[in-house]
Amino acid sequence: MGSPKPDFWAILQTLSRHEVDFIVVGGVCAVLHGAPVSTFDIDIVHARTENNLERLVKALGELDASYREHPAGRIQPTKSSMSTTGHHLLVTSAGPLDLLGTVTGGRAYEDLISQTLELTLNDDLTVRILELPMLITLKEEMGREKDRAVLPILRRTLDEKQKGGE
């Protein structure tokens, strides 16, 4: 069996239908802001409250999620595992999904929420994404080569948005 093809819409719609509180970060966030970059997975920071973790685990069950690094063992994420600050690199029926308990600087969902905006993608789907300046800040702080590589594109996208009055 081949790897599931990434379907960003399916992942976002499933999380939304289960009313999971989450923030889209990373490459998909950059694209939604208008940055011409590519990515094969979707990164989200989830709220780690009791109720949200219950909704999240149900959504992950529907997506048939399991940890990518254990393909043979099919280790599935649990409410307990999702409650940690770590990164959960999953594969789902709609492709790779990275769930981040926290991001650089130990920032959790609650720390980031004030620097997010809501985007309506269609009648049934509204998602919360990181504001572009904050995404740039996180990439700068992470400082990995792959983050540095995309920074010029993110900065120029921000410039063009500001020139355009967005």
Partner 1 sequence: MNHATSSSPRKVAYSDDGVDLTLIRWMLSLSPAERLHVLQNNVQSLLRLRDGIPKT
Query: Measured from the CB atom, is 59 or 127 closer to partner 1?
Result: 127
**Count of other CB atoms within 10 angstroms of residue 159:** 10
- Is 40 a binder of partner 1 (CB under 8 A)? yes
- Is 119 a binder of partner 1 (CB under 8 A)? yes
- Is 5 a binder of partner 1 (CB under 8 A)? yes
- Is 34 a binder of partner 1 (CB under 8 A)? yes
- Choose which of 39, 49, 81, 137 interacts with partner 1 (CB under 8 A): 39
Nearest to 7 by CA among 113, 71, 81, 95: 95
- Is 145 a binder of partner 1 (CB under 8 A)? no
Q: Round to whole Å and give the CA distance between 9 and 125.
A: 9
Reported residue count of the chain is: 166
Nearest to 121 by CA among 9, 34, 23: 9
Q: Round to whole Å and give the CA distance between 10 and 24.
A: 14
Q: Give the residues lining the site for partner 1 (CB under 8 A).
A: 2, 5-9, 27-28, 31-32, 34-36, 38-40, 119, 121-122, 152-153, 156-157, 159-161, 164, 166
